[in-house]
Structure 1
Amino acid sequence: MAIKWLPLLLLGLLFLFVGGIGCVGHGEMSVPMSSRAGMGRRLGELHSKNKETSSLSVVGAVADPEIMVAEVNRSINNSITRRQLAGLSTCGSGNPIDDCWRCDPNWQSNRKRLADCSIGFGRNAIGGRDGDYYVVTNSGDDDPVNPKPGTLRYAVIQDKPLWITFDHDMVITLKQELIMNSFKTLDGRGANVHIAKGACITVQYVTNIIIHGIHIHDCVPTGNAMVRSSPSHYGWRTMADGDGVSIFGSSYIWVDHCSLSNCADGLVDAVMGSTAITISNNYFTRHNEVMLLGHSDSYVKDKAMQVTIAFNHFGEGLIQRMPRCRHGFFHVVNNDYTHWEMYAIGGSAEPTINSQGNRYLAPTNPFAKEVTKRVDSAESVWKNWNWRSEGDLFQNGAFFTPSGTGASSSYAKASSLGAKPASMISQITSGAGALSCRSGSLC
């Protein structure tokens, strides 16, 4: 009998051990059981509001990602049609996110409208829409354990939803990772805000985050220090990688209109089961490994990762990973790729990559013309991966190597809608990066 119950006993001991020590690796903070229970309740409530879950039951993952592709294409087509009907007098660009809010000269009084403007897999990220405004008045970060009211760190750790703005231009040099709590918006509109030359942003085991209008650059590894993650908890952080935005085990995330460059590791990395993410309207420059989406080839929970990458400008000084994908589903639509040195889009572990209406301008190097790269995988393996290109514009010898067995019926429906022609990319991505918005005028 003792032998019969031994596996259950070992499993129980393992559960208690993991529950007691929290998460390890990648600079994670240990989370006490009380905090983890509260986190579980918040995610459970969110799950009940969002029924589009995958068979893996990951919060935020939709059952049929091709339907989301169709919705994105429909929103783009609607914006273009409205612009054509209105003529040249409209401020609309055909970019559905921007056309949702940028034509309002009173945007500063209607900031939270932004939360209704996302598209794609991260479209339900509401950030701090349902909370109060919080104005950052102090650019300092003197004490990561006991941050002062008025600082950015004090705002992002609060348990309640907050829409965070900045009362003047500022450069924030963080001593340690900025660990965000759920339901927060960073809204840099109206100020020139830089998070630079220190630690940067960590989105870990949380939900509903919007990061908009921030310059994020020159991020460096930090850690081996105590850092606060909520009003009731702080803990020891091991060394972080130096990502611009690190998304870890999180859902409903939207990174929009940020300018990112020159960080120690990735500019935007999403790993460990993160999903329901939209990365849009950003300007990426001066970096090697731009964007990693997926933890490792063996981490199968990332099969539920779903990411929309739309209207971004991948600019000067970039080398690779725009993005580099694993396992999940990635819709890459209407982006402008003007620079890469090795490749633009890569992957391993059988991701689905749907490239629509992008412009790919190859470098002069005759050995770097290919947009795609299958990482450490033989053709006999990757020939069945579903990588598709539709309506892309290839310049200076650029080419995309497709693979897979063909489109599903739902993808065929999505394709019939079509992303906007790649010839319109300059117009659609003209505002990529952090905008210069001033009160009383169009942003």
Structure 2
Amino acid sequence: MPHTELVAQDVHRRINASRRNLGYLSCGTGNPIDDCWRCDPNWDKNRQRLADCAIGFGKDAAGGRNGRIYVVSDSGDDDPVNPKPGTLRHAVIQEEPLWIIFNRDMVINLKQELIMNSFKTIDGRGASVHIAGGGCITLHYVNSVIIHGIHIHDCKPTGNAEIRDSPTHSGFWTVSDGDGISIFNSKHIWVDHCSLSNCHDGLIDAVHGSTAITISNNYMTHHDKVMLLGHSDEYTQDREMQVTVAFNHFGEGLVQRMPRCRHGYFHVVNNDYTHWEMYAIGGSAGPTINSEGNRFLAPDNRASKEVTKREEAPEGEWRNWNWRSEGDLFLNGAFFTQSGAASASPYARASSLSARPSSLVGSITISSGALICRKGTRC
């Protein structure tokens, strides 16, 4: 793309951002991410506008902004060491910023985990894209990735194999955990409007010094250990981790870890919790958890009404962990056990956006998961 056109696009985006800040382009859903781009029936002509819409700790995830559009036209994954042009694997390993889209509906069954390079957007809008039944997505020592609008399910452990991770390098990877999205020592990551279910380990796990992450507008179902944020109690480098979990729907068939946090700072805001079997929000190793404006519908089982669960610690220890509930809505006997500081200041590093009232959670999250988007109409 000519440099002048890139500059013009950038100016256009900045004007739109200014208008949004003034409220001119609000669609009135109350969801600030969706109100930023879903009003535009010509979203497909300016896909990269999406990159201006991130909020929370992952707000600086540029993905493939200002890069060229890469169209995935081949759902195959025949050779993870020498991927064919036109495949998703070929797209995500490139060194340059890329905005990756799909020319049709497809189910991508990956032979091995998909090792992404930095500055990439996977944008499933306009097609029904499933990554399913094999390896799934790995972000390993990368920066600035957006994953939007895809279905990720039935992920399996893969590995003990050579996999290409850049145009000039492939390496041997040990057996993967079978996560939907595995984030390892990576930052500026935004996972938005994805539908995730039924993976071998976690749906989304962020570990080993990962930070600056937003997980928003996703629909998660039919899974045990949903989301792990923090590698282990002993891995103290995760003390700097900051993750926003916002506007998600935690739906049927979920058991626990929505999320399970260690060490860092976690803003859990305006999510709809309609199903859990054991607990919703858990943690160990002294994380700071700021729960604001969520809706918690407890299961009928009397033993599972509590939203929170402290792991691996006696009460004398966890009483000092900073966990607070502010403006949450509790239904069917749900309750949140608070601990630590009552004042606001310890939660400053776990605050990333302004919570909407919990009474609006239903409308804010009604479109969670992968959207059905058609060119020429609003998503």
Query: What range describes the TM-score normalised by the shorter chain of this pair?
Result: over 0.9
Residues 245-256 of structure 1 aligned to structure 2 (within 5 Å) = 245-256=181-192
CA distance in 2, matches of 1:414, 1:204: 24
Query: Which residue identity is paired with 2:253?
Result: G
Corresponding position of 1:310: 246
Residues 157-306 of structure 1 aligned to structure 2 (within 5 Å) = 157-306=93-242
* 2:143 equivalent to 1:143: no
- CA shift digits 1:13-70 (9 cap, x unpaired): xxxxxxxxxxxxxxxxxxxxxxxxxxxxxxxxxxxxxxxxxxxxxxxxxxxxxxxxxx
1:373: Cα distance to partner? 0.2
CA distance in 2, matches of 1:195, 1:301: 31
CA distance in 1, matches of 2:343, 2:82: 53
* 2:6 equivalent to 1:94: no
Corresponding position of 2:272: 336
Query: Which residue identity is paired with 1:423?
Result: S
In the superposition, the TM-score normalised over structure 2's length comes to: 0.92
* 3-state SS, counterpart of residue 148 of structure 1: coil
Segments of 4+ moved more than 6 angstroms: 412-415
Q: Percent identity?
A: 72
Q: Is the 8 A contact 1:92 1:103 kept in 2?
A: no
* 3-state SS, counterpart of residue 171 of structure 2: strand
1:91: Cα distance to partner? 3.3
- CA shift digits 1:53-112 (9 cap, x unpaired): xxxxxxxxxxxxxxxxxxxxxx9xx99x959xx9xxx73301000000000011000100
Unaligned segments of structure 2, at least 5 residues: 1-16
CA distance in 2, matches of 1:324, 1:413: 18
* 3-state SS, counterpart of residue 121 of structure 1: helix
Query: Which residue identity is paired with 1:253?
Result: I
- CA shift digits 1:213-254 (9 cap, x unpaired): 000000000001110000000011110010000000000000
Corresponding position of 1:114: 50
* 2:331 equivalent to 1:391: no
* 3-state SS, counterpart of residue 46 of structure 2: helix
CA distance in 2, matches of 1:274, 1:413: 16
Residues 408-423 of structure 1 aligned to structure 2 (within 5 Å) = 408-409=344-345, 411=347, 419-423=355-359
Q: How many residue pairs were aligned?
A: 360
CA distance in 1, matches of 2:291, 2:109: 36
Task: Give the greater-gyration-radius structure (CA).
Answer: 1
Q: Is the 8 A contact 1:128 1:183 kept in 2?
A: yes
1:409: Cα distance to partner? 3.8
CA distance in 2, matches of 1:185, 1:421: 31
CA distance in 2, matches of 1:404, 1:312: 26
In the superposition, the TM-score normalised over structure 1's length comes to: 0.79
CA distance in 2, matches of 1:412, 1:217: 35
Query: Which residue identity is paired with 1:184?
Result: K
Corresponding position of 1:403: 339
Query: Which residue identity is paired with 1:291?
Result: M
Query: Which residue identity is paired with 1:148?
Result: K
Aligned-residue CA RMSD in angstroms? 1.9
Q: In proportion to residue count, which structure has more strand? A: 2
CA distance in 2, matches of 1:151, 1:179: 13
Query: Which residue identity is paired with 2:288?
Result: T
CA distance in 2, matches of 1:181, 1:100: 27
CA distance in 1, matches of 2:69, 2:146: 14
CA distance in 2, matches of 1:113, 1:347: 35
1:128: Cα distance to partner? 0.3
Q: In proportion to residue count, which structure has more helix? A: 1
- CA shift digits 1:351-406 (9 cap, x unpaired): 00000000000000000000000002110000000000000000000000000022
Residues 17-36 of structure 1 aligned to structure 2 (within 5 Å) = none
Corresponding position of 2:369: 433
CA distance in 1, matches of 2:110, 2:86: 14
CA distance in 1, matches of 2:198, 2:121: 24
Q: Is the 8 A contact 2:323 2:338 kept in 1?
A: yes
Q: Is the 8 A contact 2:290 2:347 kept in 1?
A: no
Q: Is the 8 A contact 2:265 2:350 kept in 1?
A: no
* 3-state SS, counterpart of residue 303 of structure 2: coil
Corresponding position of 2:294: 358
Corresponding position of 2:67: 131
Query: Which residue identity is paired with 1:374?
Result: R
Corresponding position of 2:8: none
1:423: Cα distance to partner? 1.1
Query: Which residue identity is paired with 2:95?
Result: D
1:201: Cα distance to partner? 0.1
Corresponding position of 2:12: none
Corresponding position of 1:35: none
Q: Is the 8 A contact 1:359 1:392 kept in 2?
A: yes
Query: Which residue identity is paired with 1:313?
Result: H
CA distance in 2, matches of 1:352, 1:412: 10
Unaligned segments of structure 1, at least 5 residues: 1-74
